[in-house]
Homo-oligomer: A and B are copies of this chain.
Amino acid sequence: MKAPAAQLKIPSLGYALLGLLQQNPSSGYDLRKIFSSSSMRTYSDSPGAIYPALARLQKQALVRGTIEDGNGLRRRQLFHITARGLAELKKWITQPIAPEDLTRGFEQIMLRFAFSENAAGPTASLQLLQSLREALKVHIASLHTEYEASHKLMPTSGRLAFESGMHTTEYFLQWTDYAIATYEKERRKKGKSV
């Protein structure tokens, strides 16, 4: 009987690293370069964030670092994801979308979705989208309620800002439908051949 292993909590950066390492084994430096490219700028590329984060993941046995041996260059540690790391990553990705997930921006959700196909398969991607769609509907309804209750008290800039958030969320819901359609089309094409 294994120890129940006290539900480890991994910060957002940790999942980003796991997701990238699942795609390709990489060094800390490689990962930093990825984070400094514009689409991944939500995460810091500073060594003070990444190296300690990799060390934590290694201590939890979610990744393993191996020193690349001497092809002339300076020592360089390549990190691989472990089976446990992949399992944690999958667990994170396949959780249904909770209401709180929507309140702090969509970046985390999009990261989960972006990794979902490689890490958990297209069926998981589709399920994530469906869960997202339902959560968005509820969230949009509550935004409307709040808007009705308060929009008359706000200055123009406040009202416009609120509207921006509402419309962006509604747009995101539309995107979800498009993404679901894309996946279903793909499934029909490839069929059971996979």
Contacts and interface: CB of A to CB of B under 8 A. Distances in A.
A162 B39 contact: yes
A163 B110 CA distance: 11
A156 interface: yes
User: What are the nearest 10 A-B pairs in CB distance?
Assistant: A41-B103, A117-B157, A114-B161, A117-B155, A110-B161, A114-B158, A125-B157, A160-B179, A105-B105, A164-B175
A111 B183 CA distance: 36
Interface string A126-166: 00000000000001001100100000000111101111110
Quickly give the copy total for this chain: 2
Prevailing SS type, chain A contact patch: helix
Contact of A156 (B115, B164, B167, B183): B183
Interface of A: 37-39, 41-42, 100, 103-107, 110-111, 113-118, 122, 125, 139, 142-143, 146, 155-158, 160-165, 167-168, 171-172, 175, 179, 182-183, 186
A157 B113 contact: yes
A100 B41 CA distance: 9
A163 B42 CA distance: 16
A38 B113 contact: no
A62 to B, nearest CB: 21
A109 B116 CA distance: 30
A168 B165 contact: no
Nearest to A107: B105
Contacts of A125: 156-157
A175 B159 CA distance: 13
Given A164-B110, A167-B171, A168-B168, A105 B42 contact: yes
24 contacts: A38-B103, A39-B143, A39-B165, A42-B103, A105-B105, A105-B107, A106-B164, A110-B161, A110-B164, A113-B161, A114-B157, A114-B158, A114-B162, A117-B155, A117-B156, A117-B157, A117-B158, A118-B155, A156-B183, A163-B175, A164-B172, A164-B175, A167-B171, A168-B168
